[in-house]
Structure formats: structure tokens, C-alpha cells
Chains A and B, each alone.
Chain A
Amino acid sequence: MASQAPATPTLTIDPPSPAPIELTPPTPVPAVAPTQAAGLVPISDEVKTQLEARVDGFIDELVTVDANSPEFGKKVDALTNLGRREIAEAANQSNRFLDRPVRSLNEDGGIGANLTQLRRTVEDLDPSKRGDLTARRKLFGLVPFGGRARQYFDSYKSAQGTIQSILGSLANGKDELLRDNAAIDVERQNLWAAMGKLEQMVHVSKTLDAKLEDKAAELDATDPAKATAIRQTALFYVRQRTQDLLTQMAVTVQGYLALDLVKKNNVELVKGVDRASTTTVAALRTAVTVAQAMTNQKLVLDQVTALNTTTANIIDKTGELLRQNTARIHEQASNAAVPVETLKRAFQNIYATMDAIDTFKLKSLESMKTTVNTLSAEVEKSRGYIARAQGQAQAAVSGPAQDGPFAALPQR
């Protein structure tokens, strides 16, 4: 940044930001109905064919065994476990993703607290609260005694340490948000994979449903007892499993969307932090220039240089802001009447940013709460199914069949 600025980088006045910052609160995630949940993740035709072949093989075997034999019972048991592992895997992750929006409601890497502290510190320095800076101070209202401006600019020296440490904390908070987003990316990848597997199992159970139905109709004429057995056991369990799978799918899809909401929220907050840091540093640098113009004395803010480096690290995308219109501001600064106005405007920019962040947080809090409520309700609904699936898992542990005849295939 310094390398692109004119010869004396700390002596440039920064412009009022060209456009007020806009932070868009994300819209809440709507409830996803189980019927809408399927079909979101595509399954390749190749995988579909393989799964259907397994279904055909299974039904052929089921039809050949005696409807009263233990083998028939064993096959039906395999259906009650259909997609058990896929549901468990997705449910396991859903517990984690439910946690994330709730956490983001409660903590933001300390950014809220730091911004409040920054606002307080900045308010103390605000030139518009210091009266007329150009007036001279008089001892007992009579004897001329130093300049108000000089005293005002002295206060910067004591505040610079505080500001530097707040900006440092903000940078850490921003890192936490970015790390949170990286974790969300990874979680969403995992969820996507889990949804793909669920999708496959939904396909299996729907195919089973259709084909068992056909088979039973076919058997009505030749072997009515078996047709009844298929309808009352196999078909019944398959339909139950389809419902379980779709319910879990709905929860997972909703969680997937909710994670995106948290991510967007974080991205906006990061923007806010960037802008708050930029505007603060801009104000400090403006103060250095204005001090020179008004008191003809060089205001040495050792840490401003350090701040420039810190903020250069914090800001990557909004950094250009600091460089725009430098020439115009230089011109304004040379005009004796303008400097205090410029400085006041620099402070207005900080306030505008912080107000924007506050408004954003309020609105996004609402979105987040709505999303968390819908998600919790859905997760609660699916818990019953998961408990049932786990009960079956316990019963199945001594049996030899682990995945049963059906298991999700690796997607290409």
C-alpha cells in the first residue's frame, strides 16, 4: 500500500468513502418438506442401473423362498435396516451442523465487543464533540493559552495504543470467522456426500416399493399367500424406510442450507470488520495531515505506521478504498477552511460503518433465529426415526449381515 502512495505516505488525507457500506443480511432458510428433499443431489445413470440390479436380485431371491421360512424373515429384516448406515451418518453430522448456527448466534469471535470498544475510543477523539478547534484557549477567559487544536491532537497520542490493540483483536476475530467458514466448507462437502448416499438409498427404497408392488400383483393369481406376505411385511417396511430416509434427507438439506446462511453471515461480518478498520485508520491518517495543516506541527503517531501495516494485512479487498481520490483530498487539505470538515467526515465514515454492522447484526440475528428454530423442529422430528434405526442397529449387531444387500455406492 505504502509503495503506491505518493512520496510521504502518512501525510495523505483519505477520502470519504465513495459509497456507504451495505451489508446484506441473509434470508432465513425455509422448512424443507420430505417430499421436496429427494432429487437434490444427482445420481449417475450408471449407479442407478447398479442399484436397480441389486433390487431385482433381492426380489428374485425373496420370491423363491418360502414365505414362512426363516430365510424369508431374514430377507425382510434386511429391509428394516435399509439405509441404516446412511441415515446414521447423516444424522451424526446433523447434530454438528445444528450446533453451528446456534454458536454463531452467541459468539462472533469477540467482534461485537471489540467494535463497541472501538466506537467508544473513536467517540472520544471525534472533532465534532470538541467544540471549535480553531479557537484559542484563554486562561481565566482572559490570558491566551495554547491552542485547542494542539490539545485535541495530543489526545491521539494516548489513544493510538488502544486503537492498535482493538484493531489487532478485530483482525483475530476476522481470522476466526474465516476459519469458521473454512470448516463450513468442509462440513458442506461431507454433507453433500452424505446426501448423495441418502439419495441412492431413497432410489433403492422407491424402486423396491414399485417392484414389490408389481411382484405382489403378479403373485396374486399364482401364490396369494406369498403376495400377502410381501404386502404385509416387505412392502410395509420398505414404505416405512422410505419415509425415514426422506425425513433425514429433509433435515440434511435444511442443515446444508443453514450452513450456507452462517457462511454468508460471516462473509458480511468480515466485510464489516474490514471497513471498520479501514475507516478508522483513514481517520487517524487524516488527523495526522490535518494536524499539520492546522497547527503546523507534525503529529507523530508512531503506531499509525504500524496500524497501516496491520490494516494492510486485515484488508485485502477493500484496501483500494484507501487509495482512491488521494489527489482530490490533497487539494482540499491545502484549503485552510476544509481540514476540520474533512476530519469530521472521516469520523462520520467510521460511525456509518458501525451503524451498518449493527443494523446488519440485528437483521441477521432474526434470520438466524428463524433458521435455527425450523432446523431444531425438523431435527427433533427426525430423532424418533433415528432412535428407531439405532434400536434396529443394536438388534442387528449379532447378525452376520452388516450392510444388508443394499449399501450406497461410491459416486463418481
Chain B
Amino acid sequence: MGELSPDEAVARAALIDARVKRAEEVMLRLAGTREAREATARSLKRTARDISVRIQRSVGAMGITGVGLVGYGLATTGIVGLDLMIAGALAVPAVGAAALMIPTRRKVERPEQLAQTPLDRLSGAADEWLGRVKIELPRASWQEADRVRSRLVELQPLLAGRAPGDAEAIEARRLIGEHLPRLVRASLALPPAQRGQPEAARELNGGLAVIGGELGRLTETIAAAKVDALRVESRFLENRYR
């Protein structure tokens, strides 16, 4: 390989950078936006957690039923008879299946339920709900919806443990519990054919963008208060010891 002059080296490096950037862009387009990928990862994680909880419950319930039947047999007749074995063979899988069916947490099915969801779970529940109704929204709004969802996830830990009466909590409840469901409901109220029209999608996108922006601002406000608390501590230490 021949020696490169500095200018050539710079030019080649720039070319390589540009190619890498393009490749990244293509990959990003294929994989959807970052928000969309994160949302998928979140719902996969949730499903996995859900399944694992159900299996644990099911195994536990079957174990208890089996032990209970054996115990009953031993206590009453001293042996585990055929009848008990048949009963066990029928009851244990039935109990296991029933335990699998029990939902692990209360899902928000209707948007009105969001208004009653406790603040600690509000943001997460809204994220989950929006993820489920997203398919019914116009495709052109999915990206904006994903953005709102990622804002909801960012906000979730900051809302936990806040007094329901403080200004930020009230604002969060208003945005997530009222404005967001109303907006989505208004879009879903349109006939499917009209819902996908550019005009309708644009209105929905506009509304979602406002909500996303406000959620971001709310997150910033709460985070800024935490930064202030840190500033107070460090300032106190400076005044106290210097």
C-alpha cells in the first residue's frame, strides 16, 4: 500500500465516515426509530415477566394441590388410593391451568381507567395502553406515539413517591390521565377510512407532539428540582466549612 498524503488521508477518512453514517441510517430505517425499538423491547420484557410470574404461580398451585391431596389421603385412610390418584390426575393440571389464566396485573383496557390509576403506575400504564392502541392509529402517527411512550417511560420513576397534590403530580395526571386519552379517543372515534387520511393524521400528530413536549418539560422540571437539591447541599457545605 502506497503512502497517503495528509490531504488524501483526511479525504479518505471523511469518505469512510460518510459511508458508516449512511450504513447507520439504513440500519436505523430498517429497525424503525430508537423509540420504536425501545418500546418493542419494553413490551417483550413485560411479556416475559408476565409469563414467568404465571408459570411460577402455576407450579406453586399444582404443588400445593398435589401435596394437599396426598395429605388428605394419608390423614383419612392412611394410604393414597386409586380414587385419590385419579382425582389428583384431574385436579392438578386443572388447577395449574387455572393459575396460568389469572392475569398478573390489572391492565388498562379503557382510557377512562387511566384517570383512576395511582400516580406511581400512571405513566407506565399509559405507555402500555398506548402501545396496545397504537395499531389502530394511523401509521403516520406511530412515530409520534412511540415518542410519547418513551417520554412516559422517562417520567415514570420521577413520579413515583410524589404527593398527589403537588403541582407536578397534578400536571402529570392532567396530561396523562385526561388530555392524552381524550386525544386518542377522538382519533379512534373517526371511521377507519377517515382515520388514515393525512389531515386526520396531521391533527393527531400535532396533539401528540404537544403532549410529548409537555411530558418532556415536566420531566425536565422534576429533574431540575433534583439538581437544585444537589446544588443546595453543595452550597451548604461550602458555606459551612469554607
Cβ B183 vs Cβ A398 within 8 A: yes
Stretch of B88-96, B129-137, B229-237 with 4 or more beta carbons under 8 angstroms from chain A: B229-237
Q: A103 to B239, alpha carbons, bound, how many Å?
A: 22
Q: Which residues of A contact B231 (CB under 8 A)?
A: 186
Q: Which residues of B contact A92 (CB under 8 A)?
A: 167
Cβ B210 vs Cβ A397 within 8 A: yes
Main secondary structure of the interface of A (DSSP, over half): helix
Say if the beta carbon of B179 comes within 8 Å of chain A: yes
Cβ A182 vs Cβ B236 within 8 A: yes
Main secondary structure of the interface of B (DSSP, over half): helix
Q: Which residues of B contact A175 (CB under 8 A)?
A: 236, 240
Question: Interface size of B by Cβ–Cβ distance < 8 Å?
Answer: 18
CB nearest to A394 among chain B residues: B174
Question: Interface size of A by Cβ–Cβ distance < 8 Å?
Answer: 17
CB nearest to A92 among chain B residues: B167
Cβ A183 vs Cβ B232 within 8 A: yes
Q: Which of B167, B179, B228, B236 contacts A179 (CB under 8 A)?
A: B236
Q: Which residues of A contact B167 (CB under 8 A)?
A: 92, 95
Cβ A400 vs Cβ B210 within 8 A: yes
Say if the beta carbon of B213 comes within 8 Å of chain A: yes
CB under 8 Å from chain B, chain A span 49-95? 92, 95
Cβ A186 vs Cβ B210 within 8 A: no
Say if the beta carbon of A247 comes within 8 Å of chain B: no
Residues of B within 8 A of A (CB): 167, 179, 183, 206-207, 209-211, 213-214, 228, 231-233, 235-236, 239-240
28 sample A-B contacts, Cβ–Cβ < 8 Å, listed by A number: A92-B167, A95-B167, A175-B236, A178-B236, A178-B239, A179-B232, A179-B233, A179-B236, A181-B236, A181-B239, A182-B233, A182-B236, A182-B239, A183-B232, A185-B235, A186-B231, A186-B232, A187-B228, A190-B228, A397-B210, A397-B211, A397-B214, A398-B179, A398-B183, A398-B207, A400-B206, A400-B210, A402-B210
What are the nearest 4 A-B pairs in CB distance? A182-B236, A182-B235, A400-B206, A179-B236
Residues of A within 8 A of B (CB): 92, 95, 175, 178-179, 181-183, 185-187, 190, 397-400, 402
7 additional A-B residue pairs with CB within 8 Å, beyond A182-B233, A186-B228, A400-B206: A92-B167, A179-B232, A182-B232, A397-B179, A397-B211, A398-B179, A402-B213
